[in-house]
Structure 1
Amino acid sequence: PEAEFFIFDDVRYDSSSRGSFYQVDSAEGIFNSGREEMPNTGYKIRHKEGYFPVPPADTQQDIRNEITLMLEDLGVQIERQHHEVATAGQAEIDIRFDSLVRTGDKMNLYKYVVRNVARRHGKTATFMPKPLFGDNGSGMHCHQSIWKDGKPLFAGKGYANLSELALYYIGGIIKHARALTAITNPTTNSFKRLVPGYEAPVNFAYSARNRSAAIRIPTYSSNPKAVRIEFRTPDPAANPYLACAAQMLAGLDGIQNKIHPGDPLDKNLYELPPKELAKVPSAPDSLLGAAQALEKDHEFLLKGDVFTKDMV
């Protein structure tokens, strides 16, 4: 998974008989461009323009390096780290792929290290999906593939080098996607992120190298071992064990029932005309809507005794 997060310099909140509020702050935030900092040296990252900036605009390179080195010392292999799109210290550190359960273990360790290294620097890290209004939220993009006897089963000669089995897997996730959001996006704040215009995939379609589709097919390499799908809807508030298991069961249901996802949508889904967009299934607009979708569609989760009726 690619679990994004923010590192803030100041976090304040209160709820009392006279009112309630929350406020976060960051030296990088564009909202501080006019603040007296004695001196204010500028270099504020504008909204939606924080992808891969270099220092001095990126003030957290050293913190991310420290997190990365500590995770490596703890046996968590890291592929890359970088500043993310949003202002105010959004970041991403990518964990190398592993089996489902070990990935869940590593995600929990990852969150622990991120929070505590940030705290050591007098800062606060949060995996809250949408802490800032008007800028990108934090997702947990889940890359996944199935292997058998050392062979990648998603590699084939179809669209984006996918096998028929991979397409059925995608079909299962798309069919059950609305129900999945109750598990992969489990907070009220999760649905503040799932709105158009902030690179959050709200449309359940698949496409190669298309960040507006909920399922993106990375095509960086022609190596069959690199063929995979990326479900971009989940966020890091999710329990990684439950979120990954639920996605796998949805995909396996697609394979078992040969659910074809239809044709890919190789367009910017955010720019589709309303009439065309209405034909594309979309995410619920609230946690209540997600819970209602799960109530109607959860039989696929009960297979293999992974989830129980009481748990759902």
Structure 2
Amino acid sequence: MFSNSSQVINFVKEKNIRFIDVRFSDLYGTMQHMTIPTNMLEDTLENGMMFDGSSIKGFTEVHESDMKLIPDPTAAFVDPFRKEPTLVLYSSIVDPFTNEPFSRDPRGVCQKAEAYLKSTGIADTCFLAPEPEFYLFDSIQYRADPHDTFVKIISDEASWTAGDYEEGHNLGDKIPFQQGYAPVSPMDKNADIRDAIVRALQETGFEIERAHHEVGSAGQQEINYTYSTLLHAADNLTVFKYIVKNKAIELGKTVTFMPKPLCGQAGSGMHCHVSLWKDGDPLFYGESGYGGLSDMARWFIGGVLRHAAAILPFTNPSINSYRRLVPGFEAPVNLVYSARNRSACLRIPITGTSPKAKRIEYRVPDPSANPYLAFPAILMAGLDGVRNRIEPADPIDKDLYELPPEEYRDIEKLPPSLDLALKALEEDNEFLTEGDVFTTDLLETWISQKRADEVQQLFIHPHPFEFEMYYNC
């Protein structure tokens, strides 16, 4: 939107903006914010803004709590939901005494990854386009008390509501189980909701490519938008989620980006389309290569496949992520690549003969990921493949789930749990620390807190399904 601070200041004056919302990401991808009146804008752009890092999850302890936000003029948008005209400015975080980047600032990891990419001489730009899926529900209730644990999801278009008789009527036209891909109204009851979300996204600067109902019959949606550079692709995803969630709330609905909110229904993934460029030229196209790939693209794939287990705690960071990563659905658990096969974790989209359109599609990530960590992790794995010319195993164009058991058994799979993925990261992380992109401090913090706050907590909490299985033992 802007290229420098002067443009931000002029825009604020011209548009009569009243407030500036200074935003930043915590370690896990949840956006935080502080609001200032516009008379504080110039000083904040020039000198930054102090905040308490000890109050932010995954940041600092009380004795080292002072941190500083540095707004980025190139990452701004007008908030469509605030009553007063408000400009949002995204920020990175530095130590207030040294002005050195804070090692646990996720956005700073993206910035360091882009700088490292240029320093290698391999490429100067990484373009990335995520495809985050989400569920749109009419209502959600849940509780996790020791004596009262439940979840209740209400979706007017789900097949399980066909027998309901509420308020004296049921209008039918429910979407059959797992048949939600692209039906028209009246089965698709959310077309107007999607249109409203798309309009809000467009007004915020997104270039939308398409929007449609996804496979999950209880309200799964997908809205695709155009690619951007690594850092701004991560910025854009956080803005996308903010707009989708708030617009849904405004219209009386609720949205979740959980990878697997419903047992048996399609999970929500976030396929990531990636390509490298240098001096304005694409580097992934090779006329005679498999799927139209260059040697560099093939080596990039080799690196991603080699390190897929290690980057999984960033691309699929939640316990719930592994409810989606199970064989039998389109969820990609098999560490192979293919030009067409959607059961492979890495696919080469059919893009014709245009070198500029050639890219790879990494199908493993899901939208619970912090993009400021997930996107650099994918890039660093691929760059390791290019630097070391890692050759992937031969591509497989058959349905992997239809292979004979002895043949399928030999295909390497992703770890089936967050705990095992964290172990893989512990054992394989040197490629991430190249160029100090991921620091040892960040990696150790991520692993220890994920284990303590999620793995161990879920381990000690009985699940309601256990009562169905074991209550009468």
From 138, 146, 152, the counterpart of 1:9: 138
From 143, 154, 164, the counterpart of 1:35: 164
In structure 1, how many angstroms separate the alpha carbons of the residues matched to 2:146 and 2:286? Answer: 62
Q: Which residue of 1 aligns with 2:427?
A: 296
Q: How far apart are residue 71 of structure 1 and its match?
A: 1.1
- 2:318 equivalent in structure 1: 187
Counterpart of 1:77 in structure 2: which amino acid? E
Matched residue type, 1:13: Y
1:71 has 2:208 as partner: no
* C-alpha contact 1:135 1:198 (8 A) present in aligned 2: no
* Structure 1 residue 196 displacement after superposition: 1.3
Separation in structure 2 between the aligned mates of residue 13 and residue 28 of structure 1, nearest angstrom: 20
CA contact (8 A) 2:177 2:216 kept: yes
Most deviating of 186-195 and 37-46 = 37-46
Gap regions ≥5 residues in structure 1: none
Higher relative contact order (CA 8 A, sep 6+): 1
Task: In structure 2, give the amino acid aligned to 1:296.
Answer: E
**Is 2:361 the counterpart of 1:230?**
yes
Aligned to 2:11: none
Partner Cα separation in structure 1 for residue 422 and residue 144 of structure 2: 27
Aligned to 1:245: 376
Among 234, 237, 245, the alignment partner of 1:104 is: 234
Tell me the equivalent position of 1:219.
Answer: 350
Deviations 1:95-147 (A, max 9, x none): 20110000001000000001001101111100000000011100010000001
Separation (CA, whole Å) in 2 of partners of 1:42 and 1:180:
44
List gaps (5 residues or longer) in structure 2.
Answer: 1-129, 444-473
Q: Indicate the residue corresponding to 1:155 in structure 2.
A: 285
Larger radius of gyration: 2
CA distance in 2, matches of 1:225, 1:183: 28
Contact 2:133 / 2:221 at 8 angstroms: preserved in 1? yes
RMSD between superposed Cα atoms in Å = 1.0
How many residue pairs get matched? 312
Q: After superposition, what is the alpha-carbon deviation per residue over 1:17-49, rounded to whole angstroms, capped at 9, x for unaligned? A: 422111111001111111114321211112221
The aligned residue for residue 282 of structure 1 is: 413
1:26-77: CA deviations, max 9, x gaps? 0011111111143212111122211111111111111111111111111121
Distance 2:147 2:228 in 1: 49
TM-score (norm 1): 0.98
Residue 138 (str. 1) matches residue 268 (str. 2): yes
Q: TM-score, normalised by structure 2?
A: 0.65
CA contact (8 A) 2:180 2:215 kept: yes
2: CA distance, partners of 1:288 / 1:232: 21
* Distance in 2, Cα, partners of 1:283 & 1:17: 33
Tell me if structure 2 keeps the 8 A contact 1:168–1:258.
yes
> How far apart, CA to CA, are the structure 2 residues paired with 1:221 and 1:78?
21
> For the Cα contact (< 8 Å) 1:145–1:227, is it kept in 2?
yes
Identity of aligned residues (%): 53
